[in-house]
Amino acid sequence: MTYYKETLLSKIHSHQCMVAVIGLGYVGLPLAVELAKAGFRTIGIDLDQAKVDTINAGQSYISDIPAADISTVIGAGKLHATSDYSIIRECDTVSICVPTPLSKTHDPDLSYVIAAVDAVAEYLHPGMLVVLESTTYPGTTEEIIGPRLIHNGMQIGENVFVAFSPERIDPGRTDYLLKNTPKVIGGMTSNCGEIAMALYGQIVDQVVPVSSTAAAEMVKLLENTFRAVNIALVNEFLMMCDKLGLNAWEIIEAAATKPFGFTKFSPGPGVGGHCIPLDPHYLSWKLRTLNYNARFIQLASEINTSMPAYWVTRAAEMLNEVERSIKGSRVLVLGVTYKPNVDDIRESPALDIIRLLEARGALVSFHDPYIFTLQSEGLNTPYVELTTKILVEADCVLVATNHSNYDWGWIQQYACLIVDTRNAILGAMVTPGKQKVAQELVVING
């Protein structure tokens, strides 16, 4: 036991070990690049050959990772991408960063994780560390990952080491990146945790140990359940303010001046991305197996998923006020990514808004500085360039994503009716010179 542990620790500290990252998406690629920059010989594994070829050419397909960073580590021989899992037999550590989606019934889909773990198991050798980073329910690592790795006399904590370390990548952020975001780590044994902390301690400023893999899995679910529940709270608060004739954002901003006991969350069109719409359901599913109903999670999901319909109804109401029907109205949706300043449309509530608008007969078009087609999402909504003519001709402009490079003053000047789900345009605005049917610019912001 001491031999394998001490040998691997020595190789980690001297940067002599060979590390692998499985899954080169928004989580895996930043991790692979950071490991390579730290001096480890890093192998990125992905079944998408287009990603493999792009990385090996020194290019990037993720906006947060500059091509220069990839080309530098590729040129230095520190990073190489492949779709061949057999390279794992030469590796000392493997980090698994594959998707963990939900099924249509909101049950966990671990097929990508299981496929990756089975591939690792085929080439597993004594003295290897395997770390799962993919978000999942508490108990996954111990109940599923560990047992699938044990064969040919392998013993976890003695000659093979297994840990869970939840990813905390937030696409589009520039303040907190992989290096300066604390990394939570839980091992299946104390030896597993110690080795995983040694590895990640080479690339992050702070590692945070917890007592078990299940505790580490639960940390991730608490983080995103906290966000989901609080976003649902302010979304419902917005609807309550609407009933009372109050501006929710004004009240939230004022409440946020309290220096203690209040955390600011903002309402909007719903929740999207790779974490918040999905992760709480992993916890809810696990609790259902224990005959427990996670009521907050279910209620938060109901509220957040209802927001696209809420905003479409508000758009219809405001169109009615200027004597227009939503059916046949030209609606321009601004921003379709799940949050501002990223090119990610996963679980974006803007897509649900578009579907609901089209279902009600609206003639929908969209503009987004990062996205130019929606056909891959089952939509055929046309993309349009954002021009004065397009703004003037739209019966309604619906702001779904508040990208920072939009000129809101210019949009305000030419749009006749604005439904602002993000409070991107501040205050009540009156714009003279519009056609008679809409003499004032109407901004719905709660």
Residue 241 is a catalytic residue = no
The DSSP result for 257-271, as a single string, is T-SSS-------S--
The DSSP result for 30-93, as a single string, is HHHHHHHHTT-EEEEE-S-HHHHHHHHTT--SSTTS-HHHHHHHHHTT-EEEES-GGGGGG-SE
Distant-in-sequence, close-in-space partners of 270: CB < 8 Å, separation ≥ 6: 235, 304, 305, 307, 308, 349, 352
**Confidence bin at 376 (pLDDT 50/70/90):** low
pLDDT in tens, 421-441: 999 986 334 333 333 233 334
Task: Give CA–CA dist 198/190, Å, rounded.
Answer: 12
pTM (global) more than 0.85: yes
Domains and CATH numbers, the chain: 2-211 (3.40.50.720), 231-446 (3.40.50.720)
Catalytic residue selected from 17, 192, 275, 396: 275
pLDDT in tens, 241-296: 999 999 999 999 999 999 999 999 999 999 998 788 888 999 999 999 999 999 99
Task: Classify burial at 416, counting beta carbons within 10 Å of its beta carbon; exposed 0-12, middle 13-18, buried 19 or more.
Answer: buried
Task: Give CA–CA dist 412/445, Å, rounded.
Answer: 14
pLDDT in tens, 162-199: 999 999 998 888 899 999 999 999 999 999 999 999 99
Task: Give CA–CA dist 353/311, Å, rounded.
Answer: 8
Q: In degrees, to the nearest 5, what angle opens at C-alpha 332 toward C-alphas 437 and 302?
A: 110
